[in-house]
Amino acid sequence: MESVAIIGGGIIGTSIAYRLRDAECDVHLYEKDMIGAGTTAKSAAMLTHHQEDPDSEAYELREHAWEWYDDRIAAGTFEFDQIGTLHLARSEDEFATIQEMQRTFASFGLDLPILSPDEIADHNIASDDLRGGLWFPDDGVLDPGAIVRFFADHARDGGVDIETGVAVTDVATSDDQVTGVETTAGFQSADVVINAAGPWAQQVNDLVGVDVPIRHTQGPILVLQADDPVSLPFTFFEEGIYIREEGVSQAFAGQLATDYEDSPMLDPNLTQAIDESMYLQVAEIADTYLPDLPAFDVINEWNGIRTVTPDGQPIVDETDVEGYLLACGMSGYGVTVAPAIGEFVADWLTTGRKPDSLAPLALGRFEAVA
Ligand SMILES: Cc1cc2nc3c(=O)[nH]c(=O)nc-3n(C[C@H](O)[C@H](O)[C@H](O)COP(=O)(O)OP(=O)(O)OC[C@H]3O[C@@H](n4cnc5c(N)ncnc54)[C@H](O)[C@@H]3O)c2cc1C
């Protein structure tokens, strides 16, 4: 391997660049906008174990990433606000769901309590009509912008060429092998090209003629300003809304949608309007459950785009085009898993051996779907 071109300077592309900083090859990263300006800037910023349908492979990937974060949080490199995640159950069905989640996480070695309504009330949530809530005490808020800057700065210091405001417009191939990238700043030869373009991943794949099962879901977030301080974990309500404290007297309200079935391919260059129903739902939830938010103003909002796959796991693999790798489909967990993805991709490229940890993220698992 002589030269690697990474397409995309989000948390995934910069994580890979960071891990390749000492590699004995040229590494170039192209970001058409600014570093971290894509989905990474739109996230709810949680380092989280929460997963409605937990599976051991996703859990292990997160655990690996978590270890990397833990070291840097302990060293003071990253600020971390350990607010916890609370998944609430009002109905019998949802209560059965959180009990099942509790059993599954326990089988992975993560013991999580189910809080009683009284214990939920201690988190400033009116809990009269709630049955319980699964509590993830370790979860918390990170600043994805700081993480991306950390990756990019260290990558640059290690000699990685990071070009912002430069779009990759074509991927050159010869005999089904990549030979380089055409960019708005000229041609760069490369024997490995990594698609870390987030929601733009399929547009980049189209340049190479590669088709993989990825789709998009919308991620609307409303920033709520209250009159008084808000103290609230990352709280999932059965109505499909999550709300968490932000700063002193603000809160983020969002919707977690990660299903592949029936999801469209959106144009990530277009701003998606937020559905009116979300404002009404958030107001109703605040009114019902959140005494700290008796009234609020929506002072900011955005609609991010998640890139999802049929099984909810990322795709990190080489395609039929030799040297053309995918690191996309991070769904709602890219901030959490980024350190692990970067490490495994860099290990693969520098040793020539694909880490076992990437086996669950291989393209082959979708052969039936494709
Ligand atoms: C509303 C919302 C909330 C979320 N909350 C969380 C959370 O709490 N915790 C968590 O772990 N994850 C969360 N996520 C998921 C997380 O934000 C994403 O998985 C992650 O940011 C994806 O990073 P990425 O680097 O793959 O993509 P991006 O950040 O989108 O980066 C891709 C980059 O590629 C660039 N690019 C595209 N095409 C080209 C090209 N042709 N040439 C050059 N550059 C190009 C883009 O400009 C972009 O900057 C959330 C997502 C959303 C939408």
Residue nearest to atom 34 of ligand 1 (CA): 8
- Partnered with residue 114 across adjacent β-strands are 134
pLDDT (0 to 100) of residue 368: 59
Ligand 1: residues with CB < 6 A are 7-13, 30-33, 37-40, 42-46, 48, 167-168, 196-200, 204, 219, 221, 254, 304-306, 330, 332-336
How many C-beta neighbours within 10 Å does residue 189 have? 14
Residue nearest to atom 49 of ligand 1 (CA): 38
Left (φ > 0), alpha (ψ -120 to 50) or beta: where does 170 sit? beta
Distance of alpha carbon 256 from alpha carbon 283, whole angstroms: 17
**Tokens 């290690």 sit on residue:** 158
CA of 100 to the centre of ligand 1 (A): 30
CA of 198 to the centre of ligand 1 (A): 5
Nearest atom (ligand 1) to Cα of 336: 11
Nearest CA to 324 out of 2, 6, 52 is that of 6
Per residue in 237-285, pLDDT tens?
Answer: 999 999 999 999 999 999 989 999 999 999 999 999 999 999 999 999 9
CA of 268 to the centre of ligand 1 (A): 11
First and final C-alpha spacing in the chain: 30
CA of 176 to the centre of ligand 1 (A): 28
How many C-beta neighbours within 10 Å does residue 8 have? 31
Residue nearest to atom 22 of ligand 1 (CA): 334
pLDDT in tens, the chain (370 residues): 899 999 999 999 999 999 999 999 999 999 999 999 999 999 999 999 999 899 999 999 999 999 999 999 999 999 999 999 999 999 999 999 999 999 999 999 999 999 999 999 999 999 999 999 999 999 999 999 999 999 999 999 999 999 999 999 999 999 999 999 999 999 999 999 999 999 999 999 999 999 999 999 999 999 999 999 999 999 999 999 999 999 999 999 999 899 999 999 999 999 999 999 999 999 999 999 999 898 999 999 999 999 999 999 999 999 999 999 999 999 999 999 999 999 999 999 999 999 999 999 999 999 855 4
Residue nearest to atom 10 of ligand 1 (CA): 333
- Partnered with residue 186 across adjacent β-strands are 183
CA of 122 to the centre of ligand 1 (A): 34
User: In testing the pocket of ligand 1, which one of 40, 313, 341 has its CB within 8 Å of the most ligand atoms?
Assistant: 40
pLDDT (0 to 100) of residue 370: 44
Domains of the chain with bracketed CATH: 3-42+144-214+311-366 (3.50.50.60), 82-139+215-306 (3.30.9.10)
pLDDT (0 to 100) of residue 307: 97
**DSSP-derived secondary structure letter, 86:** E
